[in-house]
Amino acid sequence: MSRASVTTRLPALLLLALVPALAGCSGGIEARTPETALASFAAALRRGDVDTAYALTSESYRRRVSHRQFATWMRADPEALRAVVARLEHPVGPPEEEAIVPIGDHEHVRLVHDPAGWRVATDVVDYYSQATPRQALRSLVRAIAHRRWDVVLRLVPGAEREEMTSESMRERWEGEGREEIERLAAGIRIALDEGAAIEENGDHAVMQWGERNRAQLSREDGAWRIEDPD
């Protein structure tokens, strides 16, 4: 591994390691608050104490990064390490405790801890969100599953929506076109569940799904709409 690559990856490595450690740690080292976890982690890095610093990372982090890898990164670039330690020792704001909870459909809810307890920070109210291309495609899959043709209509670009109604869509997709629309929804759902990449270019986006299909989207008035799902 080159010096340049280590220098680039080291800050991210150490900061990502800290996130789950703020809620506590293992290895017999106590870190009862985010502040003490941060201070202990920075102090261990400053003195080159690999074992203590590594013990202040989470179990999930240690499954991804071995003790040997961690030690190598710590020792590879002392100058970069000192720069990271300086940042860790002087945080610019109060800590924010958070938790990420999976809720199905490969989606997660983010919660933060404030003086009143844990609170939901993710916008979960809009079940048929069009805030991002991925959310718009997920909304299409959900709307088809629930036969919400009014929602499907909302996901269609304005120019194509002029001659459509939710009733005409219902007649088409719950009749002869039912098999086709269910095939389309299943293909898009699988691609989303597998984390298919979505390429965004300004107000346009494309997601490849299946062997030859491409869902194309455009953004109108701040909302993503599906120009061509396949």
Residue 117 domain boundaries: 96-124
Q: Please indicate, yes or no, whether residues 151 and 223 belong to a single structural domain of this protein.
A: yes
d(CA 104, CA 50): 37
Mean pLDDT of 169-178: 83
Q: Please indicate, yes or no, whether residues 109 and 192 belong to a single structural domain of this protein.
A: no
With 60 as the cut, is the pLDDT of residue 18 above it? no
Q: What confidence category does residue 79 fall into, taking pLDDT thresholds of 50, 70 and 90?
A: confident
Q: Please indicate, yes or no, whether residues 178 and 199 belong to a single structural domain of this protein.
A: yes
With 60 as the cut, is the pLDDT of residue 11 above it? no
Sign, CA dihedral 181-183-188-190, equals positive
Contact 122, 131 (CB under 8 A): no
Percent composition of the chain: helix, strand, coil (DSSP 3-state, to 5): 50, 20, 30
Q: What confidence category does residue 86 fall into, taking pLDDT thresholds of 50, 70 and 90?
A: confident
63 Rama class: left (phi>0) / alpha (psi -120 to 50) / beta: alpha
Mean pLDDT of 196-221: 90
If one counts the domains in the chain, the total is 3
Q: Please indicate, yes or no, whether residues 85 and 120 belong to a single structural domain of this protein.
A: no
Q: Please indicate, yes or no, whether residues 218 and 145 belong to a single structural domain of this protein.
A: yes
